[in-house]
């Protein structure tokens, strides 16, 4: 095991991720994992520093957690999952004696507040509104389409419906007609409504230290919710300078001193950038793994460096590679959803498995044979990983996976 | 060009392989598990590639060091069981199959290079692989069953190729020889259940047909020939395995001299191997039906004792043959022969008990259990009578199957050996009332009213008597355990005499303290065992009844595995003057390696059929419970302190390592 350097920072990780723990075991920072009790046995068994905590409980005990961590000598808390972002904000405001950090984390947790803040700061966003019930959704759908000068009977332009505080695609619906509105359950409100932007959607991963971007990655979506790869194609990378400008704006507007952000943008045909949303935690869809494959650096260790108040600029400079130039190839992954209503077994299609770009999959055999109907963009059943030199070939390969059955 | 094509398809797989391997090998112990799955996926792809095995082989050591086996049963190769490999290789989950393949390649590298793995001596690795190959000859020979073919699995071709590769590396010769030796070793323990032995012999027969040329060592050939002929052609008239119908026609057309020769041929093959051919059953039924009943004793190979017994109880024996000996239950003939040789029919209640058994009508529940275990070939009643013949003939041949019921199996064996009348009474209770009532310290325990014991289901892989009785005995045993649960000592102190019989000594000795699990007065325990059982220290008194005893079972590394019930049959000098304990182990194969050079012998050291044995001191070093009748007072020849020291050290090196 890597020896720990007591001169460097001591970090608390909020959330349980074996990949992250593995990265920390191999890193020189002291760490402690704060996670629910069910993980405790595994932690004890493998000698992982552990504090048991129930994040689902109300916030009234968060001060207790901050005190516990402070007494241990922890310098900073790092959120791994959407649900732990405001916990990290609350803890860090105590550890760093900076109450602003809690408010900042609240912005990251509420998609509507986030958009307003961006808009106030002069960042371009689409039309959006908050919906408290079904009628709000119908009204927004009508108003948006009126604005677009559609007549009754013309096919509607879709709108997007997103839960306020869920990660990524969870609870994200595309609404085209009042019928779609009827399918929304009461408990999905309140929610955020957005107009649809015709453009190229992509995500950015940015490590920030001292208000400066330390490393910026562009993740190209092939199909939203299905597939992503890094580094992006040259066609998207040509916007890198513009994108960097946008991220610097975000840093200003959201007052980000340090940490890691994961925003999503649209770029329209004329090169205009629209801000979608931003998260203050590692992305889902395992972009960290893809970056490790493409660049060879460990993104979780990078996360720790970006949060650690004791990390130096020299250390950061030595850690990060040069974007694009240092990539050994392009790494992508595809999220599998069963295409059939009834499935009995996992079967990797031969055309996937025999492709030279295919690496491995993390698909689980089906637990039950009936597939729940997908109403919103939901959770995939696992990821399939690819790696290769040609980004266009990789993109087409990822696209082709959508037509294949992984569950029979 | 084929080569360049294959290079082209192999290199991307190897690229992923190397990447994932580096992830796995640098992962911390907490992270290993998250990389094993993807590693196995890339191994699977490699295995499916025509050049895959060759590419995988040199990387096996690296894989092992990276932790591919970490946290799995495969992590300690020395405790893997060759018999389980075949099933794993047929599993649906390709990752498990891939892991087993890597494990086999690891054994192969150990077998080739003595220095490769200190924990896995090449001799052991060779032996392991030989057994795996022997048990999976059908795959190597391409003789897949139709059922296998129908549900072909993704890695089947790769696994077949791997087995062939291993075979090519370590050679055919050893395999068949080993398999033949293995079969003989098992048969010398005279197990009641021989189905798996029969299937191994079938494998040998197939292999000899296929590989006739290369299979040349005459010794092995002879040993194999005897096994195959004992099953498929024991005598002149059925030498070429003509089929039961044809054989019967031939018998009908034979003269007395030929029939006489057939009878002695059948008997010879049966007693030589412990296997009874279906032709033997046909022969016995033929001679009884055709008025040649005088040939029965010859066909059973009876000695003077057996013959006398047979003559005294001729009607009973003929009826037993009539009911129990059919093609499919032919083994019962051996049981009948051995019952006659044991002379137990002279004990007054036995013959009437057997008549009761012959006339009994089984309850629907008993019939259902027997049918689900054995199928519909013979009637449940025929199965049961055949099973009783086998158990009474070979009390030490019973095995617990793959069930946690060593106590019940031991009890059945003891009763068959010591108190067959009681056994038959228990059986009658179960077959007519679906219940067994036993008394514990005066309190009746009715198995029909008790909850399940250690075995949650009726055992299906056991002999007919066990199928009927073990569920009842197991419940009673568990209930006895519950009744004494509050007492501060080992429950077997009270359970053993109550469960097995009055003859179990009431003086109870145990080597460990129950509360702490630590050794307690261990030297005294060793000395007491000598004065109770060692003929040179107990006034030369033999073991009178089989006595239950508890063993701390250890694996071949000497590491503690668990507590196990056995019975001590006798203590005597073997032919080379070593004092040995001869005992019965209800485990299905007694020939086990308990580490530190303690290898349980089953033949060649004076064992009777079915007995296992160890030199007295080695046995004592694994003993933790024994009973004594309490008749001895003071030992005239004290036990040498050095001897006690040797035994204590053997125990402390193994199961008692953390108990002192």
**pLDDT at residue B152, rounded to an integer:** 62
Q: Does B30 touch chain A (CB under 8 A)?
A: yes
Give which of A18, A47, A293 to mutate to test B binding, by max B Cβ within 10 Å.
A18
| pLDDT score at B1 | 37
Q: pLDDT band at residue B221, thresholds of 50, 70 and 90?
A: low
Q: Do A322 and A377 fall into the same domain?
A: no
**Residues A208 and A322 placed together within one structural domain of the fold:** yes
Task: Show Cβ contacts of residue B177 under 8 Å, excluding neighbours closer than 6 positions.
Answer: B217, B219, B220
* Nearest residue to A177 (alpha-carbon basis) of A189, A150, A159: A159
Residues 6+ apart with CB under 8 A from B66: B21, B24, B25, B39
Full residue range of the structural domain in which residue A347 is found: 332-401
pLDDT at B149 > cutoff 50: no
Structure tokens at B438: 């036993």
Q: Which region among A212-221, B156-165, B532-541, B598-607 has the lowest average model confidence (pLDDT)?
A: B156-165
Same domain as A139, residue A98: no
How far is it, in rounded angstroms, from Cα B363 to Cα B381? 10
B20 and A360: CB-CB below 8 Å? yes
pLDDT single digits (tens) A86-137:
888 988 988 888 888 888 888 888 888 888 888 888 888 877 888 888 888 8
Pair A385, A296 in one domain: no
Of A122-126, B59-63, B68-72, B428-432, the range with the highest mean pLDDT is B428-432
Strands A159-163 and A128-131: unpaired
Give B265's pLDDT tier (boundaries 50, 70, 90). Answer: very high
Whether residue B20 lies within 8 A of chain A, CB to CB, comes out as: yes
Mapped onto helix, strand or coil, the DSSP state of residue A1 is: coil
SS (HEC) of B201-267? HHHHHHHHHHCCCCCCCHHHHHHHHHHHHHHHCCCHHHCCCCCHHHHHHHHHCCCHHHHHHHHHHHH
Domain count, chain A: 4
Q: Same structural domain for residues A219 and A301?
A: yes
Confirm whether A120 is domain-assigned: no
**Residue A59 clears pLDDT 90, i.e. is over it:** no
Of the candidates B626, B621, B658, the residue with the CA atom closest to the CA atom of residue B550? B626
Q: Is the pLDDT of residue B505 over 50?
A: yes
Strands A358-361 and A383-388: antiparallel
Torsion sign (Cα): A108, A111, A113, A116: positive
Give me the count of residues in chain B: 660
Query: How many A/B residue pairs have CB atoms within 8 Å?
Result: 55
Q: What pLDDT, on the 0 to 100 scale, is given for residue B12?
A: 85
Most confident of the following: A12-26, A199-213, B613-627: B613-627
Position B34 confidence tier, pLDDT thresholds 50, 70, 90: confident
Q: How far apart are CA A346 and CA A364, in angstroms?
A: 7
| Mean per-residue pLDDT, B10-20 | 88
Please answer whether residues A242 and A273 qualify as being in contact, where contact means their C-beta atoms are separated by less than 8 angstroms: yes
Give the domain-ending residue among A195, A216, A231: A195
Question: B42 vs A359: CB contact, 8 Å cut-off?
Answer: yes
Which of B171-185, B351-365, B530-544 ranks highest by mean pLDDT?
B351-365
Do A374 and A396 have their domain in common?
yes
Q: Which of A292, A326, A360 is the last residue of a domain?
A: A326
Query: Minimal CA–CA distance to A226: which of A267, A284, A166?
Result: A284
Q: Which of A84, A102, A120 is the last residue of a domain?
A: A102
- Tell me, yes or no, whether A276 and A355 share the same domain: no
Q: In whole angstroms, what separates CA B479 from the centre of its chain?
A: 27
Window 42-101 of B, Cβ < 8 Å to A: 42, 45, 93
Q: What single DSSP character describes residue A150? A: P
Residue A39 has pLDDT above 80, yes or no: yes
Domain of A176, CATH number, reads 3.30.1490
Q: In what order do the strands lie in the sheet with A358-361?
A: A273-279, A258-267, A200-209, A212-223, A227-230, A330-335, A383-388, A358-361
Q: Residue A183 above 70 pLDDT?
A: yes
What is the average pLDDT across B571-579? 94
Look at residue A272 and tell me if it is in a domain: yes
* A257 in a structural domain: yes
pLDDT, average across residues B455-484: 86
DSSP H helix total and E strand total for chain A: 15, 16
Q: Is the pLDDT of residue B326 over 50?
A: yes
Distance from the Cα of A254 to chain B's closest Cα (Å) equals 35
On whether the CB atoms of residues B623 and B502 are closer than 8 A, the answer is no
Of A22, A47, A359, the CB nearest to B27: A22
What are the Cα distances from residue A345, in Å, to A120, A339, B156, B630, B660? Answer: 51, 13, 18, 64, 52
Domain membership flag for residue A267: yes
> Distance between alpha carbon A80 and the CA centroid of its chain, in Å?
10
Q: What is the pLDDT of residue A192?
A: 83
| CA geometry: angle B67, B68, B74, nearest 5 deg | 105
Q: How far is CA B261 from the centre of its chain?
A: 34
* Average pLDDT score over residue span A12-33: 90
CA distances from B622 to A110, B271, B551, B570, B654 (A): 68, 33, 6, 17, 9
**How much is the average pLDDT of B46-65?**
88
Give 3-state DSSP helix, strand, coil % of chain A, rounded to 5: 35, 25, 40
**Nearest CB to B28; choose among A1, A42, A293:** A1
**Strands, E assignment, A148-242:** 159-163, 173-175, 191-195, 200-209, 212-223, 227-230
Any residues with CB less than 8 A from the CB of A40 and at least 6 apart, and which? A50, A52
**Range scoring the smallest mean pLDDT among A337-351, B101-115, B251-265:** A337-351
- CB of B34 within 8 Å of a chain A CB? The answer is yes
Residue A372 pLDDT class (50, 70, 90 cuts): low
A289's tokens = 């793994």
Position A150 scores a pLDDT of: 67
Q: What is the mean pLDDT of residues B622-649?
A: 86
Nearest to B33 by CA among A110, A299, A64, A19: A19
Per-residue model confidence as pLDDT tens digits over A249-265: 999 999 899 999 999 88
Identify the CATH number of the domain in which residue A281 sits: 3.30.470.20
Q: Where are the alpha helices (DSSP H) in A227-325?
A: 234-237, 240-254, 287-295, 299-307, 313-319
Q: How far is A385 from chain B (nearest CA, A)?
A: 10
Asked if A114 and A197 touch (Cβ cutoff 8 Å), the reply is: no
pLDDT of residue B4: 52
Cβ(A381)–Cβ(A365) below 8 Å: no
| Mean pLDDT confidence for A350-364 | 86
Q: What is the average pLDDT across B553-576?
A: 88
Selecting from B16, B37, B45 the residue whose C-beta is nearest the C-beta of A362 gives B37
Q: Let me know whether A318 and A342 are in one domain.
A: no
Locus of tokens 């979608």: A276
In a domain, A119, yes or no: no
pLDDT of residue B112: 82
- Rounded to 10 deg, the angle between the B172-187 and B156-170 helix axes is 90
Type and span of the H or E element at A40: helix A40-45
Closest alpha carbon to B502 in B571, B568, B548: B548
Same domain? For A322 and A215 the reply is yes
Q: What is the mean pLDDT of chain B?
A: 87
The verdict on a CB contact (< 8 Å) between A357 and B12 is yes
- In this complex, which of B9, B38, B45 lies closest to A362 when CB atoms are compared? B38
Of the candidates B16, B20, B31, the beta carbon closest to that of A19 is on B31
Tokens of B113: 């290079």
Greater pLDDT, B271 or B12:
B271
B9 touching chain A per CB within 8 A:
yes
Rg (CA), chain B: 27
pLDDT of residue B150: 46
In a domain, A241, yes or no: yes
Residues forming a β-bridge with A172: A377
Q: Tell me the two tokens of residue B518.
A: 């630590």
Cβ B41–A357 below 8 Å, yes or no? no
Token representation of residue B170: 């370590």
ipTM confidence score: 0.78
Note whether A214 and A315 are same-domain residues: yes
Residues constituting chain A: 408
Mean pLDDT of A20-27: 90
Note the pLDDT of residue B134: 77
Q: Which pLDDT belongs to residue A128?
A: 82
The answer to whether B28 contacts A359, with C-beta atoms less than 8 Å apart, is no
- The 3-state DSSP class for residue A262 equals strand
Q: How many CB atoms lie within 10 A of CB B100?
A: 23
pLDDT at A14 exceeding the cut of 80? yes
Of A18, A293, A353, the CB nearest to B31: A18
**CATH number (domain holding residue A29):** 3.40.50.720
B222: Cβ–Cβ under 8 A, 6 or more apart, which residues? none
- Which residue is closest to B26 within chain A, CA to CA? A26
Q: What is the DSSP letter of B395?
A: G
In the prediction, which pLDDT does A373 show?
A: 56
Does residue B35 carry a pLDDT above 50?
Answer: yes
Query: Using CA atoms, how far apart are residues A159 and A140, in angstroms rounded to an integer?
Result: 8
Nearest in space to B648 (alpha carbons), one of B527, B509, B533: B527
List the structure tokens of B321.
Answer: 């043959």
Nearest chain B CA: its distance from A162 CA (Å): 32
Neighbours of B402 (CB within 10 A): 11
Mean pLDDT to the nearest integer, B627-631: 87
% chain B with pLDDT above 70: 91
- How confident is the model at residue B145, as a pLDDT? 42
**A4 occurs within a structural domain:** no
Q: Which of A275-289, A363-377, B260-274, B529-543 has the lowest mean pLDDT?
A: A363-377
Report the share of chain B in percent with pLDDT over 90: 48
pLDDT of residue B364: 94
- Please check the confidence at residue B148 and state whether its pLDDT lies above 50: no
- Nearest CA distance, A25 vs chain B (angstrom): 6
Residue B313 sits at the vertex; the CA angle it makes with B309 and B316, to the nearest 5 degrees, is 130
Q: Which of B463, B288, B280 is nearest to B383 (CA)?
A: B463
Question: Residue A113: how many CB atoms within 10 A of its CB?
Answer: 16
Q: Of A129, A382, A166, A350, which is closest to residue B44 (Cα–Cα)?
A: A350
- Phi, then psi, of B110 in degrees rounded to 5: -65, -35
Q: Is the bond preceding A175 in cis, omega lying within 30 degrees of 0? A: no
Residues A40/A52, Cβ–Cβ less than 8 Å: yes
């Amino acid at each position: 095991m890597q020896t720990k350097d007591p001169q460097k920072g001591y970090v608390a990780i909020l959330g349980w991720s074996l990949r992250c723990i593995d990265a920390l075991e191999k890193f020189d920072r002291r760490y402690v994992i704060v996670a629910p009790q069910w993980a405790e046995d595994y932690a004890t068994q493998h000698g992982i520093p552990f504090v048991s905590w129930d994040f689902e409980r109300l916030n009234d005990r968060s001060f207790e957690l901050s005190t516990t961590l402070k007494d241990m000598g922890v310098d900073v808390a790092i959120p791994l999952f959407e649900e732990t972002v405001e916990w990290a904000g609350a803890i860090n405001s105590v550890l760093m004696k900076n109450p602003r950090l809690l408010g900042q984390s609240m912005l990251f947790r509420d998609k509507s507040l986030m958009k307003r803040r961006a808009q106030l700061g002069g960042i371009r966003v689409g039309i959006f509104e908050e919906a408290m019930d079904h009628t709000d959704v119908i009204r927004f759908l009508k108003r948006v389409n009126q604005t677009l000068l559609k007549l009754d009977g013309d096919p509607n332009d879709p709108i997007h419906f997103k839960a306020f505080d869920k990660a990524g695609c969870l609870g994200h619906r595309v609404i085209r007609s009042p019928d779609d509105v009827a399918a929304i359950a009461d408990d999905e409100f309140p929610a955020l409504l957005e107009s649809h932007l015709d453009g190229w959607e992509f995500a950015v991963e940015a490590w920030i230290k001292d208000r400066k971007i330390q490393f910026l990655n562009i993740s190209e979506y092939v199909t939203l919710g299905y597939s992503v790869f890094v580094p992006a194609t040259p066609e998207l990378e040509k916007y890198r300078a513009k994108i960097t400008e946008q991220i610097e704006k975000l840093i200003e507007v959201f007052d980000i001193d340090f940490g890691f952000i994961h925003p999503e943008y649209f770029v329209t045909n004329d090169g205009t950038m629209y801000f979608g949303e931003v998260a203050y935690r590692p992305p889902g869809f395992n972009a960290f793994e893809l970056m490790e494959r493409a660049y060879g650096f460990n993104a979780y260790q990078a996360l720790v460096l970006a949060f650690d108040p004791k990390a130096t600029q020299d250390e950061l400079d030595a850690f990060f590679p040069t974007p694009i130039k240092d990539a050994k190839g392009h790494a992508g992954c595809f999220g599998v959803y069963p295409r059939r209503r009834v499935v009995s077994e996992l079967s990797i299609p031969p055309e996937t498995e025999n492709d030279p770009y295919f690496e491995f999959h993390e698909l689980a055999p089906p637990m039950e044979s009936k597939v729940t109907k997908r109403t919103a963009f939901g959770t995939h059943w696992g990821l399939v990983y690819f790696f290769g030199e040609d980004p266009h070939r990789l993109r087409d390969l990822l696209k082709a996976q959508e037509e294949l059955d992984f569950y029979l | 060009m084929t080569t360049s094509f294959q290079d082209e398809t192999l290199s991307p797989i190897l690229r992923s392989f190397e990447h994932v391997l580096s992830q796995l090998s640098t992962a911390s112990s907490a992270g290993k598990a998250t990389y094993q799955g993807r590693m196995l996926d890339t191994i699977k792809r490699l295995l499916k590639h025509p050049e895959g095995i060759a590419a995988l082989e040199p990387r096996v050591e690296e894989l092992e060091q990276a932790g591919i086996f970490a946290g799995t049963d495969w992590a300690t190769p020395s405790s893997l069981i060759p018999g389980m490999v075949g099933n794993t290789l047929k599993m649906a989950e390709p990752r498990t199959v891939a892991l087993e393949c890597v494990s086999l390649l690891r054994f192969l590298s150990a077998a080739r290079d003595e220095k490769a793995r200190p924990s896995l001596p090449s001799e052991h690795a060779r032996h392991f692989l030989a057994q795996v190959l022997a048990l999976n000859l059908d795959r190597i020979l391409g003789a897949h069953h139709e059922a296998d073919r129908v549900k072909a699995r993704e890695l089947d071709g790769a696994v077949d190729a791997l087995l062939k590769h291993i075979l090519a590396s370590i050679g055919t010769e050893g395999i068949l020889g080993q398999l033949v030796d293995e079969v003989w070793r098992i048969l010398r323990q005279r197990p009641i259940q021989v189905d798996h032995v029969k299937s191994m012999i079938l494998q040998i027969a197939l292999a000899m047909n296929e590989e006739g040329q290369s299979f040349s060592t005459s010794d092995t050939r002879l040993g194999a020939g005897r096994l195959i002929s004992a099953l498929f052609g024991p005598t002149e008239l059925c030498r070429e395995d003509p089929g039961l119908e044809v054989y019967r026609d031939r018998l009908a057309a034979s003269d007395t001299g030929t029939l006489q020769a057939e009878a002695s041929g059948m008997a010879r093959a049966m007693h030589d191997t412990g296997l009874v051919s279906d032709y033997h059953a046909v022969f016995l039924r033929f001679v009884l039906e055709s008025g040649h009943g005088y040939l029965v004793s010859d066909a059973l190979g009876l000695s003077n004792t057996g013959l006398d017994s047979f003559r005294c109880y001729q009607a009973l024996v003929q009826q037993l043959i009539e009911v129990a000996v059919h093609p499919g239950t032919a083994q019962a003939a051996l049981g009948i022969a051995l019952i006659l040789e044991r002379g137990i029919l002279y004990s007054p209640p036995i013959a009437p008990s057997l008549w009761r058994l012959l006339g009994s009508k089984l309850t629907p529940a008993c019939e259902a259990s027997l049918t689900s275990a054995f199928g519909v070939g013979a009637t449940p009643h025929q199965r049961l009578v055949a099973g009783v013949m086998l158990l009474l003939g070979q009390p030490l041949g019973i095995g617990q199957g793959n069930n946690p019921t060593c106590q019940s199996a031991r009890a059945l064996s003891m009763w068959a050996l010591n108190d067959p009348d009681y056994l038959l009474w228990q059986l009658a209770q179960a077959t007519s009332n679906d219940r067994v009532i036993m008394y514990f310290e005066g309190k009746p325990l009715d198995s029909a009213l008790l909850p399940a014991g250690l075995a949650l289901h009726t055992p299906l892989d056991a002999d007919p008597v066990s199928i009927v009785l073990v569920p009842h005995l197991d419940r009673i045993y568990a209930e006895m355990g519950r009744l004494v649960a509050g007492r501060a000592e080992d429950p077997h102190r009270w359970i053993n005499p109550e469960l097995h019989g009055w003859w179990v000594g009431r003086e109870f000795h145990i080597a460990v303290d129950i509360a702490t699990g630590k050794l307690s007065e261990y030297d005294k325990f060793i000395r007491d065992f000598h004065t109770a059982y060692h003929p040179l220290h107990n006034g030369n008194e033999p073991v009178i009844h089989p006595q239950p005893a508890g063993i701390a079972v250890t694996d071949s590394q000497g590491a503690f595995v668990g507590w196990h019930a056995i019975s001590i049959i006798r203590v005597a000098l073997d032919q080379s003057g070593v004092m040995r304990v001869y005992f019965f182990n209800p485990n299905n194969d007694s020939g086990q390696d308990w580490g530190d050079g303690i290898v349980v012998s089953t033949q060649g050291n004076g064992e009777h059929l079915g007995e296992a044995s160890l030199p007295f001191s080695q046995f004592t070093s694994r003993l933790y419970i024994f009973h004594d009748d309490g008749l001895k007072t003071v030992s005239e020849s004290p036990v040498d302190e050095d001897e006690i020291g040797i035994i204590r050290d053997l125990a402390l090196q193994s199961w008692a390592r953390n108990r002192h």
